[in-house]
A and B are shown apart, each in its own frame.
Chain A
Amino acid sequence: MQLSRDALLAAYRRMKIIREFEERLHIEIQTGEIAGFTHLYCGQEAVAVGVCDHLSADDKIVSTHRGHGHCLAKGCDVNDMMKEIWGSREGLCKGKGGSMHIADVTKGMLGANGIVGAGAPIAVGAALASRVDGPGPNGLNVAIAFSGDGACNQGTTFEAMNFAVVTNAPCIFVFENNHYSEHTGVDYAVGTARDIASRAEAFGMKVWRADGTDFFAVFECMREVLEHVRAGNGPAAVEFDTERFFGHFEGDPQRYRGPGELERIRETRDCLKNFRASVKGASLLADADLDTVDAEVMEAIEAAVAAARAAERPTAEDVLADVYISY
């Protein structure tokens, strides 16, 4: 499937936004201005964008603790997200959620999630809701459970996969294998040795595998997956092999990395570099086009940080706002 020039630019812009959003947070977090735990998505942008570019607002996604990329790809507002991470009452969740709990249900984004493996059952529920509504002109709306190689070991994920198969739910389990569950390697923690998709297959659903650092591979793979699921053939699973450029959380000393590992993956497994090389090689876009996008994105991120800094802080009264049982 051939993407238009505009679609290519838009996809690149979304990946770049995620990249710069995270790179900037990495810097800002060191000042101590941002509270709490932050887990950066940097390096995995091609997966979020390659998946979500196929989706409408009626399709749902459920994300993970490493959720900024999924949120941005699914259409959450950059400024509102930045404000949320800064803990402002103008944030997407009014400062109540923070990095790990960003949600925008109006965009079909049912929440980042601080509990590893908790999202998959929720995605199945959203898929069952779509089954109640029945197919639209483009087939069934889908629900996507993003999970990592860590969550693939949780019983909830297994329950959810079997549940989805049994109920024929239009649910897609996207496993982003970035080779690390927190600080532990996939070779140790995943018994099926670097193969998560086969687990999903064993539950009785069709599976796909692709290189998660290649936007075009992700995008093309997802086209097939969605065709299958929207047609009412039940759930599916995809495993994307990808890379995490930062630690598990901000402040992780990453002593588990091999010598030169970070430099190597930044050099050879960077989805943005790969994208630039591909479009240039195929003469689809020029460097100048992408440079313009880069400059616009940097401006947008700069503006978002400035807005977050200036945004109104929550008050003591806000603690009790949006409470439905009070004592």
Chain B
Amino acid sequence: MSKMMYRAAVLSTIMEEMERDPNVVVLGEDVVGGMGTAGGPEAIGGIWSTSTGLYDKFGPTRVIDTPISESAIVGAAGGLALAGKRPIAELMFADFIGVSLDQIWNQLAKFRYMFGGKTKCPAVIRMAYGAGYNAAAQHSQSVHQILTGMPGLKVVMPTTPADVKGLLRTAIRDDDPVIFLEHKALYAVQGEVPDDPDFMIPFGHARLSRAGGDVTIISSGLLLGMCEAVADKLAAEGIGCDVIDLRTTSPLDEETILDSVEVTGRVVVVDEAPPRCGLGADLCALVAEKAFSSLKAPPLQVTPPHTPIPFARELESNYLPSVDKIEAAVRRVLSYR
């Protein structure tokens, strides 16, 4: 085990996989940073420091610094994948799926099925998502609910550095398009990471980060830490919470969710995306459909309101789910009669 930051787990996994497999290629805006400037290549090395040093090590054919052309970045990743490479494309902000959605949704996600299963599309599209930086409406969003709704995409949203390592490696070695969502407020989080160069976490296996028999809290990403804080607080009162870190929203670990809800009968889904037609609504529907007989209270979701993300500090902090809001929701399902 080594201690490293979430962002370092991203970079080291890419580095290791590029060393291991010459077909792994990285492309994105400023992944080299400084191309065509007096500062020269690697003057920046990626704004999230998740590609620093790749260019020096692997050169311009495998580390492709691109113009600001998100459609072309994702489309090129698709072309690289169809031509037998394993591209890792980076969208600097997840919000930019807007200008590249056709390539994600109509192209990469559909190749294998639409072409009768005769091709693979081993592309990873990494993107930084999430609020907490006062980056306002176009640089703070959580987009997993949009992408999870698209058949043909695998959607990963790791919470810990160890999960980054295990899930990103699985994503790179996977033969299908994977959306890899990195929460920008987690980049500096430290954690123990296994050193095994083949450490992988299979998709669709949620992590039970707290165990208790009274209520099930489901989340992933930045908000998971808040859920754990609530669980720890309630544990002191003798209330036991199952806290489920989904890890991947597609494929979904339905079994872990249902197994927990069948014991607790109470569920709170905590999500950073807005409430309508999102992950929270989806999981509430799942338990209503498949665990109705176990439910002791209506499933609840804790999400931001159905608005764009506001800018000012006071506005953003009120917009986001908080420990207090999560705790209130948990107490509400516990007191339901």
Asked whether the complex places CB atoms of A and B closer than 8 A, the reply is: yes
Contact of A121 among B75, B83, B154 (CB under 8 A): B75
Given A103-B115, A325-B250, is A125 in contact with B78 using a C-beta cutoff of 8 Å? Answer: yes
Contacts of A197 in B (CB 8 A): none
Contacts of B153 in A (CB 8 A): 325
Binds B, one of A36-44, A92-100, A209-217, A295-303: A92-100
> Once the chains bind, are A129 and B84 in contact (CB under 8 Å)?
yes
Name B's interface SS. Answer: mixed
Which residue of B64, B83, B151 is within 8 Å of A130 (Cβ)?
B83
Interfacial chain A residues near B117, Cβ < 8 Å: 94, 96, 321-322
User: Which stretch (B102-110, B165-173, B261-269, B311-319) binds chain A?
Assistant: B102-110
B209 CB-CB contact with A under 8 Å: no
Q: Which of A92, A155, A322 contacts B113 (CB 8 A)?
A: A322
Q: Mark B66-105, 1 if CB is under 8 A from A, else 0.
A: 1101011111111111111101000000000000001100
Among A107-115, A185-193, A218-226, A267-275, the stretch that binds chain B is A107-115
B116 x A91 contact (CB < 8 A): yes
A132-B62, A132-B85, A162-B69 given; A124·B116 CB < 8 A: no
Tell me whether B102 and A115 are in contact (CB under 8 A).
Answer: yes
Measured between alpha carbons, how far is A77 from B61 in the docked complex, in Å? 34
A248 within 8 A of B: no
* Contact status A104-B118, CB under 8 Å: yes
B176 at the A/B interface (Cβ < 8 Å)? yes
Report if A125-B81 is in contact (Cβ < 8 Å); known contacts: A96-B113, A322-B113.
yes
A126 to B83, CA, bound (A): 5
CB distance from B226 to the nearest CB of A (A): 28
The contact of A160 among B75, B110, B152, by CB within 8 Å, is B75
Which of the listed residues A92, A156, A323, A325 has the most CB atoms from chain B within 10 Å of its own CB? A325
Residues of B with C-beta under 8 A to A160? 69, 71-72, 75-76
B190 at the A/B interface (Cβ < 8 Å)? no
Contact check: which of B66, B116, B252 meets A97 at CB < 8 Å?
Answer: B116
CB distance A325 to B79 under 8 Å? no
Partner of B76, one of A124, A134, A325, A326: A124
CB distance from A204 to the nearest CB of B (A): 12
At the interface, yes or no: A265 with Cβ under 8 Å from chain B?
no
Q: B: which residues have CB within 8 A of A?
A: 22-23, 25, 27, 61-62, 64, 66-67, 69, 71-85, 87, 102-103, 106-107, 110-119, 151-154, 175-176, 250-252, 254
Q: Which residues of A are at the interface with B, using a C-beta cutoff of 8 A?
A: 60, 62, 91-97, 101, 103-106, 110-111, 113-115, 118, 120-132, 134, 143, 155-156, 159-160, 162-163, 166-167, 321-327
